[in-house]
Structure 1
Amino acid sequence: MNRWPRHRRTTSLLLAAALSAVTLSACGGGGDGESASKTVTEEEIQAALDKPTELTVWSWSTSLPDVAEAFEKEHPKVKIKVENVGTGAEQYTKLQNAIKAGKGAPDLATVEYNAIPQYALTGALVDLKRFGFGDLEDQFDPAAWENVNVGGGLYELPLNAGPMALFYNKKTFDKFDIKVPTTWDEYIEAGRKLQKADPDYYISADNGNAGLTESLIWSAGGRPFKVDGDRISVDLKDAGTKKYADMYQKLLDDKLLSPIAGWSPEWFQGLTSGKIATLTSGAWMAGILKSSVPDASGDWRVAPMPSYDGESTTSVNGGSSLAMMEQGDKQAAAAAFLRYVSAEKGADITQATGSFPARSKVLQSQEFLGAKDEYFGGQQVNRVFADSLADVAEGWQYLPYDVYAVSIFNDKAGKAYTGDKTLQEGLNDWQQELVKYGKEEGFTVN
Structure 2
Amino acid sequence: MQRSRVTAAGVGLVIAGLALTGCAGGEGDSTGSGEPITLEYWAWGTTQKPLVDAWNAAHPDIQVHHTDAGGGSDSSAKLVTATRADNAPDVALVEYNTLPAMIVAGVASDISAYTGDLSNEFAAGVWSQATFDGVSYGVPQDAGPQALTYNKARFDELGIEVPTTWAEFATAAETVRAADPDAYITTFAPAEFGGFAGFAQQAGAEWWSVDGDSWTVDFDDEASVAVADYWQDLIDRDLVLAEPLLTPEWNARLNAGDVLSWPAGLWAAGVVNGVAGDMAGQWALAPLPQWTEGDTAVAFQGGSAAVVTTSSEHAEAAAEFASWIATSDEAAAIQIEQGTYPASLAGQQLTIGSEPPLLMQGQDDYWEIAAAIAADTIPEISWGPNVNVASTAFQDAMSAAVTNGTPLAEALSETERVVADDMETSGFTVDVE
| Aligned counterpart in structure 1 of residue 321 of structure 2, from 337, 340, 364 | 337
Residues 50 and 239 of structure 1: CA distance in aligned 2, closer, same or farther (over 3 Å): farther
Q: Within 5 A, what are the aligned runs for 1:145-156?
A: 145-156=127-138
Where does residue 40 of structure 2 map in the other structure? 56
Residues 340 and 361 of structure 1: CA distance in aligned 2, closer, same or farther (over 3 Å): closer
Where does residue 169 of structure 1 map in the other structure? 151
The whole-number CA distance in structure 2 between the counterparts of 1:303 and 1:138 is 27
The whole-number CA distance in structure 2 between the counterparts of 1:405 and 1:38 is 34
The whole-number CA distance in structure 2 between the counterparts of 1:372 and 1:291 is 15
Residues 172 and 182 of structure 1: CA distance in aligned 2, closer, same or farther (over 3 Å): same
1:163–1:282 Cα contact (<8 Å) kept: yes
Residues 49 and 83 of structure 1: CA distance in aligned 2, closer, same or farther (over 3 Å): farther
The whole-number CA distance in structure 2 between the counterparts of 1:116 and 1:256 is 36
The whole-number CA distance in structure 2 between the counterparts of 1:81 and 1:273 is 42
Q: CA deviation at 1:228?
A: 4.8
Flag as ranges the 4+ runs of structure 1 deviating above 6 A: 22-27, 44-50
Q: Alpha-carbon deviations, 1:195-232, whole Å to 9, x = none?
A: 23333211111231111110000111111211357532
1:49–1:333 Cα contact (<8 Å) kept: no
Structure 2: segments with no counterpart, 5+ residues:
1-9
The whole-number CA distance in structure 1 between the counterparts of 2:302 and 2:18 is 29
TM-score normalised by L of structure 1: 0.86
TM-score normalised by L of structure 2: 0.88
Where does residue 306 of structure 1 map in the other structure? 289
Q: Within 5 A, what are the aligned runs for 1:364-375?
A: 364=349, 368=352, 371-372=355-356, 375=359
Where does residue 288 of structure 1 map in the other structure? 271
Where does residue 261 of structure 1 map in the other structure? 244
| Aligned counterpart in structure 1 of residue 340 of structure 2, from 348, 355, 358 | 355
1:39–1:130 Cα contact (<8 Å) kept: no
Where does residue 225 of structure 2 map in the other structure? 242
Where does residue 319 of structure 1 map in the other structure? 303
2:150–2:285 Cα contact (<8 Å) kept: yes
SS of corresponding position for 1:408: helix
2:326–2:342 Cα contact (<8 Å) kept: no
Q: Alpha-carbon deviations, 1:331-389, whole Å to 9, x = none?
A: 22212211221122333322321111121134345x61675556324112112221112
Residues 36 and 228 of structure 1: CA distance in aligned 2, closer, same or farther (over 3 Å): farther
- Identity score, percent: 29
Where does residue 404 of structure 1 map in the other structure? 389
In structure 2, give the amino acid aligned to 1:410: Q
Residue 438 in 1 paired to residue 420 in 2?
no
Where does residue 140 of structure 2 map in the other structure? 158
The whole-number CA distance in structure 2 between the counterparts of 1:48 and 1:260 is 58
SS of corresponding position for 2:139: coil
Aligned residues, how many?
Answer: 417
Residues 36 and 162 of structure 1: CA distance in aligned 2, closer, same or farther (over 3 Å): closer
SS of corresponding position for 1:394: coil
SS of corresponding position for 1:354: coil
In structure 2, give the amino acid aligned to 1:135: D
Q: CA deviation at 1:137?
A: 0.7
The whole-number CA distance in structure 1 between the counterparts of 2:347 and 2:87 is 37
Where does residue 124 of structure 1 map in the other structure? 107
Where does residue 185 of structure 1 map in the other structure? 167
| Aligned-residue RMSD, C-alpha | 2.8
Q: CA deviation at 1:158?
A: 1.1
| Aligned counterpart in structure 2 of residue 106 of structure 1, from 89, 98, 103 | 89
The whole-number CA distance in structure 1 between the counterparts of 2:360 and 2:254 is 14
SS of corresponding position for 1:327: coil
In structure 2, give the amino acid aligned to 1:280: P
Q: Within 5 A, what are the aligned runs for 1:178-257?
A: 178-208=160-190, 209-228=192-211, 231-257=214-240
Where does residue 89 of structure 1 map in the other structure? 73
Q: CA deviation at 1:321?
A: 2.4
The whole-number CA distance in structure 2 between the counterparts of 1:152 and 1:49 is 37
Once the two structures are overlaid, the 10-residue window that deviates more, 290-299 or 239-248, is 239-248
Where does residue 12 of structure 1 map in the other structure? none
In structure 2, give the amino acid aligned to 1:89: S
In structure 2, give the amino acid aligned to 1:149: T
